Amino acid sequence: MDRSQYYSPQAGRRIDAPSASHARFGIGDIVKHRLFDFRGVVFDIDPVFANSEDWYEAIPQDMRPRRDQPFYHLLAENEDSSYVAYVSQQNLLGDSEGGPVDHPSVHELFEDFADGRYRLRRSLTH
């Protein structure tokens, strides 16, 4: 399998990743956590785990996700608060039927919500 490297600011190091990754969700998709009661909109995707070792080690060992899968950056919300979450693909389910996400940063990154997903602001696309 072809591999490439990229720098991860969260990890503070270069990450070895496959050249091709199979992300189930895309930027603008609405997702919910499989185990915990929160949902969010995807705003970035890492092809493999690319956060700090401290972050990874803080997850109870029996719940730690595999590193060799896509990880998603979410503008997340639950009943109590809005925050940014970093979640493995194995722990996410699609939630396009759940309506828009009420995170205060959504309108900084996305233009509108239609057909169950957000569209990235044109000024942020390549």
- Would you kindly state where each structural domain of the chain is located, as residue ranges? 3-124
User: What Å distances lie between residue 71 and 62, 89, 97, CA to CA?
Assistant: 18, 6, 22
CATH superfamily of 3-124: Hemimethylated DNA-binding domain (2.30.30.390)
C-alpha to C-alpha distance for 73 and 42, rounded to whole angstroms:
6
Rounded to a whole number, what is the distance in angstroms from the first to the last CA of the chain? 27
Q: What is the pTM of this model?
A: 0.84
Tens-place pLDDT, residues 51-90:
999 999 999 999 999 999 999 999 999 999 999 999 999 9
Name the amino acid, one letter, at 95: D
| Residues 79, 100: Cα–Cα separation, whole Å | 14
Which H helix or E strand runs over 108? helix 106-109
State residue 22's pLDDT score.
87
